[in-house]
């Protein structure tokens, strides 16, 4: 297997690095420098026609895209420690958490990023700045929901550190990068964020 990865602050490739670190795994890697536009080259599009990072090329040449799908693929071969659930209910719970993070928090933050940030001006035409700004409030609504969910819980599923925590960490940090830091009174989220950030995998 060969990983196509991009450095911080890119949130989606980071998930795969965090996941691999939790498993104690490392893969041969090619760095795709997003700032240099390496994801838009014909060479990389031959790997991932979507022009997005990360991607995982299998030994037979097939390619898995989407950060969570890449981790799910690796999970089949390296099930310990379990990152996607330990029984049918827990697996469904983690899937639901990941979908909530991706479909609500990630979507809102992505709209902020695409429509308000100068970096995207050459690519997103037109940028709807007012729309982008409006999505900051939506992101905070979802963050508050997670703050409430985390009351009395160490990790999102209430049992152990899972892929849902990896995905949330990537987007809480990315949100701060694009200017949507959660308020100080989100105490449960803040404590969870400190715990997740203190894991060695967070620095991967
Ligand atoms: N849902 C995809 C998102 C992949 C994605 O958009 N990656 C970003 C880096 S964090 C990217 O390649 N951006 C380049 C671009 O949009 O032009 C995943 O989870 O892998």
Minimal-distance CA residue to ligand 1 atom 14? 52
Transcribe 110-178 into DSSP letters. Answer: HHHHHHH-GGGTTTSSS--HHHHHHHHHHHHHHHHHHHHHTTT-SSTTSSS--HHHHHHHHHHHHHHHT
**CB contact set of 186 (below 8 Å; sequence gap of 6+):** 143, 144, 147
pTM of the predicted structure, to 2 decimals: 0.96
CA of 10 to the centre of ligand 1 (A): 8
Q: What domains sit in the chain, N to C, each tagged with a CATH number?
A: 2-77 (3.40.30.10), 88-203 (1.20.1050.10)
Rounded to 10°, the helix 163-177/88-100 angle is 10
The confidence score (pLDDT) of residue 10 equals 96
Name the residue with the closest Cα to ligand 1, atom 6: 52
pLDDT tens-digit series, residues 22-33:
999 999 999 999
- The predicted structure's pLDDT at residue 204: 94
Which residue positions in the chain have pLDDT lower than 50?
none
Q: Is 51 left (phi over 0), alpha (psi -120 to 50) or beta?
A: left
CB of 34 shorter than 6 A to ligand 1: yes
Residue 38 CA, ligand 1 centroid: distance in Å = 13
pLDDT at 152: 97
What is the per-residue pLDDT for 101? Answer: 98
- In a 10 Å sphere around its CB, with 0-12 CB exposed, 13-18 middle and 19+ buried, how is residue 59 labelled? exposed
Tell whether ligand 1 has an atom less than 6 A from the beta carbon of residue 17.
Answer: no
The CA 53 to ligand 1 mean position distance, Å, reads 5
Token pair belonging to 79: 């099930």
pLDDT score, position 132: 97
Report how far ligand 1's centroid is from the alpha carbon of 41 (Å): 15
């Amino acid at each position: 297997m060969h990983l196509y990865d991009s450095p911080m602050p890119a949130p989606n490739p980071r998930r795969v690095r965090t996941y691999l670190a939790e498993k104690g795994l490392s893969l041969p890697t090619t760095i795709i420098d997003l700032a240099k536009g390496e994801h838009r080259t014909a060479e990389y599009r031959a790997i991932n026609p979507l022009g997005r990072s990360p991607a995982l090329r299998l030994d037979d040449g097939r390619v898995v895209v989407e950060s969570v799908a890449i981790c799910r693929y690796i999970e089949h071969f390296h099930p310990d420690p379990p990152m996607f659930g330990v029984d049918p209910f827990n697996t469904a719970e983690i899937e639901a958490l990941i979908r909530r993070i991706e479909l609500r928090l990630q979507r809102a933050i992505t709209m902020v990023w695409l429509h308000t940030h100068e970096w995207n001006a050459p690519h997103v035409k037109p940028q709807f700045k007012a729309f982008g700004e409006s999505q900051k409030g939506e992101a905070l609504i979802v963050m508050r929901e997670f703050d409430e969910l985390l009351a009395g819980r160490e990790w999102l599923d209430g049992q152990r550190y899972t892929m849902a925590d990896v995905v949330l960490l990537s987007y809480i940090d990315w949100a701060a990068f694009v200017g949507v830091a959660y308020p100080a009174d989100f105490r449960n989220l803040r404590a969870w964020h400190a715990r997740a950030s203190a894991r060695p995998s967070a620095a991967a």
